Amino acid sequence: MNLIFLHGAAAAGKLTTAQALGERLGYPVFHNHLTVDLLTTVFPFGSEPFKRLRELMWLAVLAEAAAAGRSLIFTFAPESTVDPGFPERVRITIADAGGRVCFVRLAVSEAEQERRITAESRRKYHKLVDLQTLRAARKHPGAVEQPPVDLEIDTDASGPSDSAAAIVRHFGLVPEPPVSRYPL
């Protein structure tokens, strides 16, 4: 089982790269905002119940995928509401089931990030779309744990398809049959 752990700043191209990689490999995409959007319908972002349930859900899905031998792509944005040690807890969870985690950092320049941040496609998952909020967050970054980096890709210079190809090559990944969402 391979867990491709894509991480990076807002608008670094995590979801678009994950989708391109998923199409190439047949791996499902477990997008960060699926959990965030579910939980923020009940609990405010960053609240204790939100933080606790988000990590519980993340780890439960990853553990079940690993136990089933189902490779997966996970997108993650490092930020201050994630408890320290999360990337290591992911690594241990996957390793305990005999899988491996491939940590991929997607880097984006500030200029390109600002160009992408207001894209209409970001609204679908309630992502950050406000340039002023982005700039304010940069001024007060706080202590945010960064996951390990096995491979770094500059998404200013590499589009989603090229980034996906680079990930496949670097880790020697092979396609798997896709799983039907609604089997008969």
**pTM attached to this predicted model:** 0.91
Whether pLDDT at 127 is above 80: no
- How far is Cα 44 from Cα 93, in angstroms, rounded to an integer? 27
**Residue 84 is assigned to a structural domain of this protein:** yes
Instruction: Give me the mean pLDDT over the 38-63 stretch.
Output: 96
Q: Is residue 64 part of a domain?
A: yes
Give domain status of residue 182, yes or no. Answer: no
Residue 46 domain-assigned (yes or no): yes
Question: Which range is least confidently modeled, 31-35, 55-59, 97-101, 125-129?
Answer: 125-129
Domain count, the chain: 1
| Residue 124 confidence (pLDDT) above 90 | no
Pairing of the two strands 151-154 and 100-107 = parallel
* Over residues 14-31, mean pLDDT: 96
Supply the pLDDT for residue 163: 98
What amino acid is encoded at 70 in this protein?
A: R
Q: Is the pLDDT score of 30 beyond 90? A: yes
Express each pLDDT in 65-115 by its tens digit.
999 999 999 999 998 899 999 999 999 999 999 999 999 999 999 898 888
Identify the domain containing residue 159 by its residue range.
Answer: 2-171
pLDDT of residue 140: 73
Residue 181, in any domain of the structure: no
Q: Helix, strand, or coil here: 163?
A: helix
Q: Which amino acid is at 1?
A: M
* Helix, strand or coil, per DSSP, at residue 21: helix
**Residue 178 counted as domain residue:** no
Band the pLDDT of 126: cuts 50, 70, 90: confident
Facing residues of 150 across strands?
Answer: none
* CA dihedral (109, 113, 115, 116) positive or negative: positive
CATH code where residue 123 lies? 3.40.50.300
Q: What's 38-81 look like in SS3?
A: HHCCCCCCCCHHHHHHHHHHHHHHHHHHHHCCCCEEEEECCCCC
CB 179 within 8 A of CB 28: yes
Task: Let me know if residue 177 belongs to a domain.
Answer: no
Q: Are 152 and 104 in contact (CB under 8 A)?
A: yes
Q: Is residue 87 part of a domain?
A: yes
